[in-house]
């Protein structure tokens, strides 16, 4: 008799969120919401969430009441119109041809259903709207624009709602998950750093604590020219200093900062003795052959340290 798999609950603090859409030659398969976080024990976790799809709301077509048959007709019409729209783009100008070809599929609309909602503008009473669910987040603004611009006929020149939500924001709002909030899900997978779960099993958790998040600060030094701001084409990077701390780590009484998890300096030119009297206390200095070797080693170091946040001087362009 086969043993029944035991289910466990995994909790983690959300650090970042992203998504991707996986497709085949005929239709988008599914958008995948990707959650990145860290558990209380310090382990990093990545969660791929399936079965969550983008959607928008629209007014009922003229004379419709929201029956199942009417919803099926709307789904058929919207799907046909989207297919014709992207087929036209594929035959159009060269700069739009590749875009149209990439979005050519057989099925775009996942479902259309009648729902009762309230338009808060003007304090209106609840009434019936159509909830249009698609397979790709990119199709939501396409439907919105086409309906508003009467591209698909007067019958479908209707007001749409909630079309401008970023897909990942829609997921967080629907799941009641706050930024840097805690999330839990049930799984029968063994202990892992990567999970694949269905959206219904993901839920927010109210925990008033922080995971041991890793924060990596770095600073670059370059072989600059007097009076000229450094340029990558002319001024080589000669040193990269890194200081990684963990949230909640003890404070170093000598410096008043959290005790570092790692303090490492990569360089490929000797210290200028007039500037640096000695190596910084507690730092590990890694001597490299050249700039390329140093950057390669630094990239491997960052991957190994697996920081949750990266910060430094004049590095806002990283975000």
Answer yes or no: do 272 and 130 share one domain: no
Distance between CA atoms of 41 and 253, rounded to whole angstroms? 26
Domain ends where: 184, 211, 238? 211
Task: Say if residues 307 and 318 touch (Cβ distance below 8 Å).
Answer: no
Residue with tokens 């839920």: 203
What would the pLDDT profile of 246-262 be if each residue is shown by its tens digit? 998 888 777 777 888 89
**Higher model confidence: residue 262 or residue 318?**
262
Residues 36 and 126 in one domain: yes
Instruction: Say what percent of the chain tops pLDDT 70.
Output: 84
Q: What is the pLDDT at residue 63?
A: 84
Q: State whether 241 and 202 are in the same domain.
A: no
Helix, strand, coil percentages, rounded to 5, for the chain: 25, 35, 45
Output the domain CATH number for residue 240: 3.30.420.10
End-of-domain residue from the set 150, 183, 211 = 211
Q: Is residue 1 part of a domain?
A: no
Tell me which of 37 and 105 has the higher pLDDT.
37
Pairing label, strands 284-287, 55-58: unpaired
Q: Is residue 76 part of a domain?
A: yes
Compute the Cα dihedral for 27, 31, 32, 34 and give only its sign.
positive
Quote the pTM value. 0.82
Residue 218's nearest CA partner among 165, 153, 267, 146 is 267
pLDDT greater at residue 55 or residue 63: 55
Judge whether residue 90 has pLDDT over 60. no
Assign 93 a pLDDT band (cuts: 50, 70, 90): low
Q: Residue 3: which pLDDT band, with cuts at 50, 70 and 90?
A: low
Q: Are residues 178 and 298 in the same domain?
A: no
Q: Is the pLDDT of residue 298 over 50?
A: yes
Using a pLDDT cut of 90, give the percent of the chain over it: 43
Torsion of CA 153, 156, 157, 161, to 10 degrees: -150
Mean pLDDT of the region 143-170:
82
Those residues with Cβ within 8 angstroms of residue 68's Cβ, 6 or more apart along the chain or in another chain: none
pLDDT digits (tens, 9 = 90+) for 187-233: 887 777 788 888 888 999 999 899 999 999 999 988 878 888 888 88
Q: How far apart are CA 11 and CA 101, in angstroms?
A: 41
Q: What pLDDT score was predicted for residue 249?
A: 83
The first and second tokens of residue 179, run together, are: 């930024």
Helices (H), the chain: 68-90, 94-102, 139-148, 167-174, 291-305
Least confident of 27-31, 133-137, 161-165, 223-227: 27-31
* The predicted structure's pLDDT at residue 191: 74
Length of the chain in terms of residues written: 319
Residue where one domain finishes, among candidates 167, 196, 211: 211
Domain coverage including residue 248? 214-318
Question: What is the domain count for the chain?
Answer: 2
Q: Specify whether 133 is located in the same domain as 145.
A: yes
Q: Are 19 and 40 in contact (CB under 8 A)?
A: no
Average pLDDT value over all residues in the chain: 84
Cα distance between residue 135 and residue 22, in whole Å = 10
- Domain check: are 112 and 223 in the same one? no
């Amino acid at each position: 008799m086969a043993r029944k798999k035991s289910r466990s609950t995994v909790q983690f603090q959300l650090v970042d969120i992203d998504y991707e859409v996986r497709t085949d030659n005929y239709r988008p398969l599914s958008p995948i919401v990707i959650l990145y976080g860290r558990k209380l024990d310090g382990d990093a976790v990545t969660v791929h969430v399936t079965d969550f799809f983008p959607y928008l709301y629209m007014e009922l077509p003229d004379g419709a009441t929201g029956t199942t048959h009417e919803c099926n007709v709307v789904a058929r019409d919207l799907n046909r119109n989207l297919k014709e729209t992207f087929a036209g783009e594929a035959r159009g100008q060269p700069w739009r041809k590749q875009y149209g070809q990439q979005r050519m599929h057989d099925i775009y609309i996942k479902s259309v259903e009648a729902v009762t909602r309230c338009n808060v503008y003007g304090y209106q009473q609840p009434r019936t709207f159509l909830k249009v669910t698609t397979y790709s987040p990119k199709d939501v603004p396409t439907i919105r624009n086409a309906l508003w611009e009467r591209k698909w006929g007067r019958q479908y020149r209707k007001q749409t709602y909630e079309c401008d939500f970023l897909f990942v924001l829609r997921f967080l709002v629907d799941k009641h998950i706050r930024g840097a909030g805690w999330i839990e899900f049930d799984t029968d997978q063994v202990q892992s750093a990567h999970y694949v779960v269905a959206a219904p099993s993901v839920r927010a958790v109210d925990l008033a604590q922080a995971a041991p998040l890793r924060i990596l600060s770095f600073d670059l030094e370059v072989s600059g020219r007097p009076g000229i701001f450094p340029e990558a084409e002319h001024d080589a990077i000669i040193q990269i200093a890194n200081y990684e701390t963990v949230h909640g780590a003890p404070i170093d009484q000598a410096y008043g900062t959290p005790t570092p998890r790692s303090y490492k300096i990569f360089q490929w030119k000797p210290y200028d003795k007039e500037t640096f009297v000695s190596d910084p206390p507690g730092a590990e200095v890694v001597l490299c052959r050249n700039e390329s070797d140093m950057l390669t080693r630094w990239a491997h170091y960052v991957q190994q340290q697996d920081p949750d946040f990266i910060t430094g001087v004049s590095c806002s362009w990283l975000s």
